[in-house]
Amino acid sequence: MENESRDARSLAGRRVLITGITDAASLAAWAARGARQAGAELVCTGLGLTPHHQGLSDRAEAHMSSAFESFQQTVAEELGAETPTFACDLSLDGSVRDLAASLAEREMVLDGVLHAVAFDRTLRPGGKTSLLETSREDFLGCMDVSAYSLVALLRELIAAGVLADGAGVVALSYLGASRVVSHPYKNVGVAKAALERIAGELAAELGPAKGVRVNVVRFSPYSASRAGGAIPGLVEAEKRAADASPLGVAHPQALADEVVHLLRPGSAITGEIRHVDGGQNLLA
Ligand SMILES: NC(=O)c1ccc[n+]([C@@H]2O[C@H](COP(=O)([O-])OP(=O)(O)OC[C@H]3O[C@@H](n4cnc5c(N)ncnc54)[C@H](O)[C@@H]3O)[C@@H](O)[C@H]2O)c1
């Protein structure tokens, strides 16, 4: 009983930065609710307009503004209106630097970071679903947001002195990082492979330097989120995984539980790729 109550508050006194919330169905929103229930104080950052965005079309500006409003509303409703929110485009170094500076100004030192962002232009309706036909621009854009952003984010947080020694970092990935899957997950699959290697390299660099742990969680196919819903064929892939995986598809609450576990202080787990996928990764 005593263990249970200690467990339930395992992130008490820890401040966790959550990226990648779009709406209540976002995997990041599930993880954020889990971290909050475990006692964490949250800081959330969502894609929004910043002074570093130049030359955007009116349509793109309107889209970014409405996405940020919906992010803020989701955070207020799901996590509490007192939760601080910041606009940040993780593909722009200046924007990431501003985020880190804003945290430093408010003396918000982080004990945890969730990286839950990805973007692949080839997955839009009518986009290229062959890697061979993927343009350099679409390849690099996907790699930038979905993989390099973890490097940029941790670098700027460390430079601003807002990543605590012993912090836990978790990035979200998918089986398509190492397997050719049945639905189009080509360009972003390559970027996820890079993200996973980046997590390993940063685990090796930041462990000795700061005791920071960096881990990856691969989750089941999940079509309820904005990004998942945009992947052609993901609904069918989810059904197949539900039927074939030893435990079916994982519920996003199971992802939240694993993220909380990996963010707990004092764990000796780093550089790991965990599967929260009902055992889908075992299948041929
Ligand atoms: N949906 C799935 O099947 C699935 C499975 C495993 C892992 N994942 C991963 O989980 C994470 C969250 O995805 P989700 O399915 O919850 O979808 P989601 O659409 O809710 O989240 C994706 C987030 O990425 C953000 N983003 C995109 N470009 C950005 C940029 N330049 N700067 C800052 N943020 C940016 C979006 O604003 C959005 O909040 C992603 O890394 C995704 O690859 C998803």
Give residue 27 CA to ligand 1 midpoint distance, Å.
8
Within a domain: 282: no
* Residue nearest atom 34 of ligand 1, based on CA coordinates: 47
Share of the chain above pLDDT 90, in %: 91
Written as six digits, the tokens of 92 are 């722009």
Task: Please give the pLDDT value at position 2.
Answer: 42
> Tens digit of pLDDT for each residue in 8-61?
789 999 999 999 999 999 999 999 999 999 999 999 999 999 999 999 999 999
Q: Give the max Cα distance, the chain.
A: 58
Q: Is the pTM of this model over 0.95?
A: yes
Within a domain: 281: no
Give residue 119 CA to ligand 1 midpoint distance, Å.
7
Within a domain: 9: yes
Give residue 258 CA to ligand 1 midpoint distance, Å.
17
Within a domain: 224: yes
Task: Please give the pLDDT value at position 6.
Answer: 46
Ligand 1 proximity of 90 Cβ (cutoff 6 Å): yes
Q: Which atom of ligand 1 has the smallest separation from the CA of 234?
A: 3
For residue 216, what are the β-bridge partners?
Answer: 171, 273
Within a domain: 28: yes
Ligand 1 proximity of 116 Cβ (cutoff 6 Å): yes
Give residue 116 CA to ligand 1 midpoint distance, Å.
5
At residue 7, does pLDDT exceed 70?
Answer: no
For residue 112, what are the β-bridge partners?
Answer: 16, 168
Within a domain: 284: no
How far is CA 244 from its chain centroid?
26
How far is CA 3 from its chain centroid?
29
Task: Please give the pLDDT value at position 182.
Answer: 87
Containing structural domain, residue 95: 2-273
Within a domain: 77: yes
Ligand 1 proximity of 148 Cβ (cutoff 6 Å): no
Q: Which of 216, 103, 117, 115 is nearest to 164 (CA)?
A: 103
What are the DSSP calls for the chain, one per residue?
-HHHHHHHTTTTT-EEEEE---STTSHHHHHHHHHHHTT-EEEEEE----TT--S--HHHHHHHHHHHHHHHHHHHHHH-TTS-EEE--TT-HHHHHHHHHHHHHTT--EEEEEE-----GGGSTT----STT--HHHHHHHHIIIIIHHHHHHHHHHHTT-EEEEEEEEEEE-GGGTS--SSS-SHHHHHHHHHHHHHHHHHHHHHHHH--EEEEEEE---TTSHHHHTSTTHHHHHHHHHHHSTT-SPPHHHHHHHHHHHHSTT----S-EEEESTTGGG--
* Residue nearest atom 43 of ligand 1, based on CA coordinates: 118
How many domains would you assign to the chain?
1
Written as six digits, the tokens of 89 are 């485009």
> Tens digit of pLDDT for each residue in 183-220?
889 999 999 999 999 999 999 999 999 999 999 999 99
Ligand 1 proximity of 225 Cβ (cutoff 6 Å): yes
Task: Please give the pLDDT value at position 125.
Answer: 75
What are the DSSP calls for 127-178, one per residue?
----STT--HHHHHHHHIIIIIHHHHHHHHHHHTT-EEEEEEEEEEE-GGGT
For residue 204, the domain's CATH number is 3.40.50.720
> Tens digit of pLDDT for each residue in 106-149?
999 999 999 999 999 999 877 767 999 999 999 999 999 999 99
Task: Please give the pLDDT value at position 5.
Answer: 44
Neighbouring C-beta atoms of residue 265, cutoff 10 Å: 16
Within a domain: 102: yes
User: CA-to-CA distance for 144 and 47, rounded, in angstroms?
Assistant: 14
At residue 3, does pLDDT exceed 50?
Answer: no
User: CA-to-CA distance for 233 and 241, rounded, in angstroms?
Assistant: 12
Ligand 1 proximity of 20 Cβ (cutoff 6 Å): yes
